[in-house]
Amino acid sequence: MAIQITIIGLGQIGGSIGLALAGQKAALKRVGHDKKVDVERSAQSKGAVDAVNHNLPSAVRDADMVMLCLPVSQVRETLEFIAPDLKEGAVVMDTSPVKSGVFEWAQSILQLKRYFVGLVPSVNPDALNEIKFGLEAARADLFQKGVMIIDAPRGTPGDVVQLASDLARLLGSDPMLADPVESVGLMARMLLLPQLAAAALLNATVDQPGWMEARKMGGRAFATVTAGLAYQDEIDSLRMSAMQNRASTVYALDVMIAALQGMRNDLESGNDDGVAVRLEQALEGRNDWMNDRLKAEWATGIERKPIDIPSFAERFFGSTFYKRDKDQ
């Protein structure tokens, strides 16, 4: 019996999950759902899903796994909408980057014997310079050469966590277990801070004196730095994520403000050497980071085990937690 994976949200992440699993059709049935019918059709034509179902309750009713690939601003209402139709033993996985509020929603909304795991994927370094959005940006290798943070609420059965780890490896990622506090700190620095910095840059330039002429000169650097604020859904999710994780976000902002203040002080005082050192350190840091990302040697010393699809299926149909549910 094939495992049904229902992917809700067929943008870059959801579409890429479907494409990465395309070679497992004998063991996995990929059902797609998106709020936009044309996106559903495009996803199916691209081979990202085997079938689509625009009726959300029906799309999850037979699902063994449900992937929420949505902006965090849409996660709570989606959980509330699908919860009554999830079958016993179903595992819901969410790919939004910051989990504090999401864990609370899942705990309060999901019925007994429905499980929740948080996933935070990092993308293939080959895709870092692409400025594409939505399903157009989906690619089968999006998660290769990356890590996938796995957050599970306290009390989650070990088999469910192992299932998430197996899925990460099927997608081409190295699973990395992390507790919610650690995960939030990482995401505040590496996701929320760049987006908030982009917002600050835009607020400091758009509609300011001279903008009518300056906008004509905006080039690749300006477009790249501000690309994370291209959609309203992202704005809503950024606001919610930052507010739900205020302490970590404020700390990250404070560190950046201190760095900007140091640069400003060196410029104001005419400290040419100081400015040079700051810029050289920044360039060196970026080059080191990019080299590390391209090498993707995070798992050095860790044995990579291929995922056996029958064993993956047994997480549902023969695992300890599934048998226990059926016996109770």
Q: Report pLDDT digits (tens) over 212-226.
A: 999 999 898 898 888
Q: What is the DSSP string of 36-92?
A: SHHHHHHHHHHTS-SEE-S-HHHHHHT-SEEEE-S-GGGHHHHHHHHGGGPPTT-EE
Question: In the predicted model, is pLDDT for residue 328 greater than 50?
Answer: no
Question: Is there a contact between 315 and 162 (Cβ–Cβ < 8 Å)?
Answer: yes
Look at strands 115-121 and 147-151 and give their pairing. Answer: antiparallel
Is pLDDT larger for residue 126 or for residue 63? 63
pLDDT confidence of residue 294: 86
Is pLDDT larger for residue 291 or for residue 317? 291
- Prediction pTM value: 0.84
Rounded mean pLDDT, 197-209: 93
Per-position b or e across 50-69, b if 16+ CB within 10 A of its CB: bebbeebeebbbebbbbbbb
Instruction: Give percent of the chain above pLDDT 90.
Output: 59
Question: In the predicted model, is pLDDT for residue 97 greater than 60?
Answer: yes
pLDDT confidence of residue 306: 57
Question: In the predicted model, is pLDDT for residue 233 greater than 90?
Answer: no
Confidence of residue 312 (pLDDT cuts 50, 70, 90): low
Determine the length of the chain.
328
CATH code, residues 3-179+311-322? 3.40.50.720
Question: In the predicted model, is pLDDT for residue 299 greater than 70?
Answer: no
User: Element (H or E) spanning 115, and its range?
Assistant: strand 115-121
DSSP state of 2: P
User: Element (H or E) spanning 24, and its range?
Assistant: none
Answer CATH for 182-295 from 1.25.40.10, 3.20.20.80, 1.10.10.10, 1.10.3660.10: 1.10.3660.10
pLDDT confidence of residue 225: 86
Confidence of residue 11 (pLDDT cuts 50, 70, 90): very high
Average predicted confidence (pLDDT) for the chain:
88
Confidence of residue 300 (pLDDT cuts 50, 70, 90): very low
pLDDT confidence of residue 132: 79
d(CA 260, CA 265): 9
**Structural domain boundaries in the chain:** 3-179+311-322, 182-295
pLDDT confidence of residue 326: 46
